[in-house]
């Protein structure tokens, strides 16, 4: 049942992301050709500012979902209502706090942009961004019960429909009217309607949520919850600051136009990260179920399988991006929108090291190890800001990105696995780091070999070169990974799952035909 739920969540999550990705690229293309790169830079800058402001809520979602695993398994409606009640009140307060802080930043917007901008109505644009961010806090609290109940595929289906319609209308508005403010208003309206619809769906799935909610947690339960929340809050602040400050630092030290160019790379990377994140996000509730019910040996085995999956998936996409991202952007937008290989390398190192944290992060969150090293995220933030600013002055945009990588290696890279191996698996973490090193070397070698083979074909015909490189990227890294790991327990376990799914799907199709 756990595998079935995870696969459902994964399937619909990935399907929704494919739709979002396709529509996102079309919107981005229409955006650039109708409004220009400077508007794109403003879009990226304000998105980062609002991401930073949203750190006020971070931790509540993970803490609530973690605390809902047990009452959902035990069908304890009173306890579920108590947590949802707490979540609702907290988010209303957070929405108001973000609105106040966001408004107070308006006089300082000009200081966040290096050089003058020709864009009019900057304050109005920022206010719409702020409204878009704040509006979700009055609906999103009911998402948590659906996610914790291993049914996030429901949210994915609804989101896919709304994102398709919203993006379609935005494309039409960009082409016919070319009014950025009107496009932003459309985003806000659809986000409000979507969140309201999901809240209504939650009421239908869990009818007891519709009644008057007077359930409360005990003093001891509240104390334990807020203790976890405080630690999660620090973790999440670190993640948001590490990922959200890059655009702001680039805008201040290099310029808002560079933010626009970088945002095209970010669109591709973020689309992939979200796409791949659904795989791990979809199984988080199932891992929580494993943690609650299974023994230590089973937990460790599942971790190894997840970590191996992490490597194969992210390693494969690193090889693909190294070979294809610049040629793709050249065809999509033109040579004036591409970065040199040094910057691309920094972007991909950041992508890979972020992705390789998925397995440790999933286990950290589902085992409730929020309080171990709680102040480490604060250290990560400080390291990130200091190194990003120093390196921005030395080597430009690549330095900003490498500052992010350095902060991650100094903190998350080693500490999360250490805590999990010590407190969950009760064994040395050395094997994890040895495997990490082995995985990274294989990815690096695969990227070099694939690039070298790809450079032998159609250098003067870009489209043909891309087609050949796609085929090489599909074959070479996967073949290398297969040769090295075909005898491993992790590979054979994943292969057995794939075979079981295919067998079940084939039987279902035969039954439908009969």
What is the average pLDDT across 347-362?
90
Name the 3-class secondary structure at 487: coil
Separation CA 410–CA 441 (nearest Å): 20
Q: Which residue has the higher pLDDT, 510 or 164?
A: 164
Residue 120, SS3?
coil
**Cα angle: 268, vertex 449, 314; to 5 degrees:** 35
Q: 284-305 as b/e, with b when 16 or more CB fall inside 10 Å? A: bbbbbbbbeeeeeeebbebbbb
Whether 13 and 156 have beta carbons less than 8 Å apart is answered as yes
Q: How far apart are CA 503 and CA 509, in angstroms?
A: 10
pLDDT above 70: percentage of residues in the chain:
80
Residue 375's CB: how many other CB atoms inside 10 A?
A: 9
pTM of the prediction? 0.72
The full DSSP string for 229-252 is HHHHHHHHHHHHHHHHHHHHHHHH
**CA angle 313-340-475, nearest 5°?**
30
Nearest 5°: the CA angle 474, 477, 480 is 130
Mean per-residue pLDDT, 409-414: 87
84 falls in which pLDDT band (50, 70, 90)? confident
pLDDT tens readout for residues 471-508: 999 999 999 999 999 989 989 888 887 777 677 656 65
Least-confidence region, from 35-49, 425-439, 448-462? 35-49
Dihedral sign computed on CA atoms, order 208, 213, 217, 223 = positive
Predicted pLDDT of residue 455: 87
pLDDT tens digits for 117-139? 667 788 888 898 888 888 877 77
């Amino acid at each position: 049942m756990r595998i079935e739920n995870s696969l459902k969540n994964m399937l619909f999550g990935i399907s929704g992301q494919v739709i979002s990705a396709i529509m996102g690229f079309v919107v981005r293309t229409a955006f650039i050709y109708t409004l220009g790169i400077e508007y794109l830079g403003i879009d990226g800058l304000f998105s980062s500012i609002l991401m930073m402001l949203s750190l006020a809520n971070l931790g509540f979602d993970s803490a609530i979902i973690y605390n809902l695993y047990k009452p959902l398994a035990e069908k304890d409606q009173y306890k579920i209502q108590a947590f949802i009640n707490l979540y609702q009140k907290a988010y209303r307060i957070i929405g108001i706090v973000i609105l106040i802080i966001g408004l107070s930043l308006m006089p300082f917007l000009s200081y966040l942009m290096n050089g003058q901008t020709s864009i009019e109505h900057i304050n109005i644009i920022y206010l719409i961004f702020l409204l878009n961010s704040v509006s979700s806090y009055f609906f999103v609290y009911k998402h948590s019960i659906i996610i914790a109940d291993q049914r996030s595929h429901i949210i994915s289906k609804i989101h896919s429909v709304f994102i398709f319609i919203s993006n379609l209308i935005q494309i039409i508005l960009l082409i016919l009217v070319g009014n950025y403010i009107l496009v932003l208003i459309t985003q806000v309206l659809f986000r409000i309607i979507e969140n309201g619809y999901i809240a209504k769906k939650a009421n239908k799935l869990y009818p007891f949520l519709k009644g008057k909610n007077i359930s409360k947690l005990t003093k001891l339960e509240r104390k334990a919850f807020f203790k976890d929340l405080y630690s999660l809050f620090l973790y999440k602040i670190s993640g948001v600051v590490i990922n959200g400050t890059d655009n702001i630092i680039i805008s201040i030290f290099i310029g808002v136009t560079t933010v626009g160019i970088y945002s095209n790379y970010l669109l591709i990377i973020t689309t992939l990260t979200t796409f791949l994140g659904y795989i791990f996000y979809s199984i988080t509730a199932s891992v929580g179920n494993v943690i609650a019910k299974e023994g230590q040996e089973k937990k460790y085995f599942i971790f190894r399988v997840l970590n191996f999956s992490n490597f194969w998936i992210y390693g494969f996409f690193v090889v693909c991006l190294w070979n294809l991202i610049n040629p793709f952007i050249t065809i999509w937008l033109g040579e004036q929108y591409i970065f040199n290989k040094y910057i691309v390398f920094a972007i991909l190192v950041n992508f890979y090291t972020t992705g390789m944290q998925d397995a440790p992060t999933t286990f950290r969150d589902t085992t409730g190890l929020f309080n171990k090293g709680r102040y480490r995220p604060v250290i990560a933030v400080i390291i990130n800001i200091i190194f990003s600013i120093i390196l921005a002055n030395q080597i430009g945009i690549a330095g900003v990105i490498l500052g992010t990588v350095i902060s991650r290696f100094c903190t998350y890279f080693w500490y999360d696995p250490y805590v999990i191996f010590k407190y969950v698996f009760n064994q040395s973490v050395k094997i994890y780091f040895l495997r990490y090193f082995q995985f990274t070397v294989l990815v690096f070698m695969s990227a070099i070999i694939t690039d070298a083979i790809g450079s032998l074909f159609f250098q003067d015909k870009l489209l043909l070169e891309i087609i050949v490189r796609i085929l090489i990227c599909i074959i070479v890294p996967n073949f290398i990974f297969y040769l090295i790991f075909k005898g491993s327990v992790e590979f054979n376990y994943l292969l057995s799952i794939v075979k079981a799914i295919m067998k079940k799907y084939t039987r279902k199709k035969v039954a439908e035909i009969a």
